[in-house]
Amino acid sequence: AGLIALVLALSHAPWRVPVAAGLLMSLLGAWWCARWFRRRLGGVTGDTLGAAQQLTEVLLLLSWAAVWQAATQ
């Protein structure tokens, strides 16, 4: 269902840039978290997955806000 929603959002012209920016930032944030957790903590636990989820959600919302701000100026 999530993949279908992503494809539909990317196919709708006004949503392409915010969705792509949010997806990119979320992927980069998740990658960075996984790398940091493995290096500093020696692995990934349930707590670290929760922290990664929260961080990627914040990055998604911040990227949407940045795109919106740039589009309205």
Tokens coding 48: 């670290």
Per-residue confidence (pLDDT) for residue 42, from 0 to 100 = 92
Q: Is pLDDT of 9 > 80?
A: no
DSSP the chain: -HHHHHHHHHHSGGGHHHHHHHHHHHHHHHHHHHHHIIIIISS--HHHHHHHHHHHHHHHHHHHHHHHHHHH-
Report field, pTM of the whole predicted structure over 0.75: no
Per-residue model confidence as pLDDT tens digits over 16-56: 778 788 888 888 988 999 999 999 999 999 999 999 999 98
CA distance 49 to 68: 29
CA distance 29 to 5: 21
